[in-house]
Amino acid sequence: MELRLENLKNSPGARKARKRVGRGESSGIGKTCGKGGKGQTARSGGKIRPGFEGGQMPLYRRLRKFGFRSVTRLRGDNLHTLVPVEALNLFEDGAVVDADALKAIGIIPSSREKAGYKLLNDGEVVKRVVVRVSSASQSAIQSVIAAGGTVEIV
């Protein structure tokens, strides 16, 4: 059969007939037209917002509210970048360890600038280095001094 304009047809099931409501009770969608009984939802445009409980105090107002935690506080954007003491072993004896040296060796991500860099006593240091950081814990300072190095707070 040749394909021509007068013999074009849709595939079976491609076009669905619209639902014709209100065509007798025996049709299954007569009388109330599938909208149930009377009331707000039976009316045209009658919608109820999410969370509405018919005038009863809704759940989101009945439950207790808890505190707020700042996203920046959780991520630590306003805090120091933490540097473990063990990372100082990657440098040579007598080296000056500052922010640029830590970035160059890859200990600190260069993409994220924070309030400063804090030295923490996490691990053991064996090299004699001069450390220049914005903050350091007391135990970290003691362990660097015990290894023969110095800590300068800048």
In terms of residues, how long is the chain? 154
Q: Which two tokens stand for residue 140?
A: 């970290």
Q: Between the CA of residue 19 and those of 23, 28, 106, what are the distances in Å?
A: 10, 11, 66
Indicate if the pLDDT at residue 78 is higher than 60: no
For tokens 């669905």, what's the residue?
Answer: 16
Indicate if the pLDDT at residue 23 is higher than 90: yes
Indicate if the pLDDT at residue 74 is higher than 80: no
Q: How far apart are the first and last CA of the chain?
A: 89
Indicate if the pLDDT at residue 114 is higher than 60: yes
Average pLDDT of every residue of the chain: 88
Q: Confidence band (pLDDT; 50, 70, 90) for 122? A: confident
For residues 129 and 146, give the distance between their C-alpha atoms in angstroms, rounded to a whole number.
11
Q: Which residue has the higher pLDDT, 1 or 65?
A: 65
Indicate if the pLDDT at residue 111 is higher than 60: no
Q: What's the whole-number mean pLDDT along residues 127-135?
A: 91
As a CATH number, domain 72-153 is 3.100.10.10
- Show me where the domains of the chain are located: 21-67, 72-153
